[in-house]
Amino acid sequence: MENKKEEVGKKSYPVTVRRLHWLMAVMIFTLLILGFYSSGLPMHGVQLEHMGRHAIFGSGLVLFAIIRLYTKIKNFKNNPHLPKKFAKFEKISAILTHYVFYILFLLMPLSGWLMINGLDIKLTFMGIPLPHIIPVAKSIGTYALYFHIIMVYAIIFLVFAHVVGTFWHIIKDKENLLGRLNPLMTSQEKEEYKLALQEMKKRDKIKRDQRKLDRQAKKIMKNRNKKKGM
């Protein structure tokens, strides 16, 4: 019975990881659209504003990638394992793909900032100039541009392979892989969340009562000291 419960509990990732997964997926597609669209515009205010949005979204992607990686490592024991029916090379490729994704999530925005700073491209976001993190250096900016372009096509390939691989296993192996990343909370998670809130409220009430008792005790001691002084 315990093994069955454990198996059920490992069918999906923690809700934070699941929601971050889809949020980052939306951000990646938004970044790709903004990047390709703005690169085709002439270099003037409209393009700089679109590239500014692209830069802000890229910075946000780094932040969410770090949070997701931290959450995934923290809840490592509760993360679902790949199905046993998967071939060894499929498991290795899936793990490697995830690691490469995280590396790209961190390096792509960095190369973007190095590119715009090195080439002295003055970006704006909502009319506000974006800061430079390095001095102007055209050689660094040019190398960062090439590196950024290579990583863009690398991430497009990985996303394509990731989506095709997921649906391949859904059809071939009848595995509900998308269910492991359902952004909605399950009934069990809702119940656990409700119990956690109740527990939190109890602890807060105990702390408030304790502070109230401490204030009353201080007041009594103060009154006693006054009487002794009289």
- Residue-wise pLDDT tens digits, 125-175: 666 666 676 676 778 888 888 888 899 999 999 999 888 888 887 887 777
What's the rounded Cα separation, in Å, for the pair 158 and 155?
5
Q: How far out from the chain centre does Cα 101 lie?
A: 12
8 Å CB contact between 29 and 62? no
CA neighbor of 135 nearest in space, from 157, 122, 149, 117 = 117
Q: Is the pLDDT of residue 62 over 80?
A: yes
Residue 1 confidence (pLDDT): 40
Percent of the chain with pLDDT over 90: 3
8 Å CB contact between 181 and 22? yes
Work out the average pLDDT over 66-72: 83
Give the 3-state secondary structure of residue 205.
helix
Structure tokens at 119: 């080439």
Residue 205 confidence (pLDDT): 76
Residue 157 confidence (pLDDT): 92
Q: Is the pLDDT of residue 204 over 60?
A: yes
Whole-number CA gyration radius for the chain = 26
Burial class (CB within 10 angstroms; exposed 0-12, middle 13-18, buried 19+) of 67? middle
Higher pLDDT pick, 219 / 21 = 21
For 100-200, strand residue ranges (E) read 124-125, 128-129
Percent of the chain with pLDDT over 70: 78
Q: Is the pLDDT of residue 7 over 50?
A: no
Residue 6 confidence (pLDDT): 38
Residue 111 confidence (pLDDT): 86
Most confident by average pLDDT, 65-74, 99-108, 212-221: 99-108
Residue 93 confidence (pLDDT): 84
Work out the average pLDDT over 68-94: 78
Most confident by average pLDDT, 38-52, 103-117, 211-225: 103-117
User: How many residues does the structure list for the chain?
Assistant: 230
Residue 226 confidence (pLDDT): 67
Token pair 């408030």 is found at: 208
